[in-house]
Amino acid sequence: MSAKFLHITRAFAVLCVLCNIAGWARADRLVLTPSAYNLPPGSAKLEIARRESRGGLTQYWLHVGLVGGIELEGARFETQRRHIDSLSLQYNILPDIGFIPAVSVGVRDVADRTDDGIAFYLAVAYRLPYMPPNPLIEEMYLFGGVGAGGIKGPFVGAEVRTPFRILLSAEYDSRAWNAAVSWEPVPLLRLRLYSIDGETCYGASLAVSF
C-alpha cells in the first residue's frame, strides 16, 4: 500500500472524527439552562464567556463526558475581586434516539458555593424529527424542565441550526431571558455572542475527544 494512499486514508479518518465531534459539540447547557444532552464518554468541551459591563465577569465551563451517561461540569466565575468555583453533575436517563426526547437529571453546584446555590433539576430535550423544506433552518431543538433550589421552577428554550454553521439559541432560565448566536468556523470551534440577563457577553467554546 503506497504512502500516499495511507496519508489520504488517515486524512479521511480525521475528517470523519471531526464531523462526528461537530455533531455532539453540545453539552449540559443551552445558554445557562440544562439542555438534557450529555457529551459522549471520552470527550470534553471548554466554554468561556466574558462580560465587560458592571466591572467585568469571566465565566468558564469545562464539561467532561464519562461512561454510564454521566457528565461532569467544572465552572469558574471570575471578577476583579473574587472567583467562585463549582462542580455539577448530570445523568442522562434517556438518550435522544430520534422519536423520543432526551431526559436527564442533575445537580448544579454540588458544594453550594455560588450565589444561586445548589440546584436540582429534570431536563428534557427534543429534536424535531421533520422540518418543512426551508433554506434557513437545518435542525430545530426544543428544551424544557423544572428545577429546585438554585434553579427556581420551570425553564424552557429552543435552538435553531442553520445551513450556514450559525446556531440561534434562546431560553428562559427560571429567572431571566437569555439568548446566543454561535458561529462554527471549523467543526470543533464555536464563536458566541450572548445576551445574558440583559447584559452582552462574548466568548467561544472548543470540543475535543481523548
The x, y and z cell numbers of residue 163, run together, are: 445551513
16 phi and psi angles, rounded to 5 deg: -60, -40
Q: For 121-130, how does the pLDDT look when each residue is reduced to its tens digit (9 = 90+)?
A: 999 999 998 7
Give Cα 89 to chain centroid, integer Å. 14
Listed in sequence order, the residues at least 6 apart from 201 whose beta carbon sits closer than 8 Å to its beta carbon are 49, 50, 51, 59, 193, 194, 195
Bridge partners (DSSP) listed for residue 160: 140, 168
In this prediction the pTM is 0.84
3-class DSSP state for residue 188? coil
Specify whether the CB–CB gap between 85 and 112 falls below 8 A: no
Q: For 69-78, how does the pLDDT look when each residue is reduced to its tens digit (9 = 90+)?
A: 999 999 999 9
Query: Is 4 a residue whose pLDDT tops 80?
Result: no
Residue 173's Cβ-side half-sphere holds a number of Cα atoms within 13 Å equal to 21
Mean pLDDT, the chain, whole residue set: 88
Of the chain, the percentage scoring pLDDT greater than 90 comes to 78
Please state which architecture CATH assigns to domain 3-209: Beta Barrel (2.40)
b/e for 185-208, b at 16 or more Cβ within 10 A?
A: eebbebebebbbeeeebebebebe
Q: For 102-146, how does the pLDDT look when each residue is reduced to its tens digit (9 = 90+)?
A: 999 999 999 999 999 999 999 999 999 877 788 889 999 999 999
The x, y and z cell numbers of residue 91, run together, are: 445523568
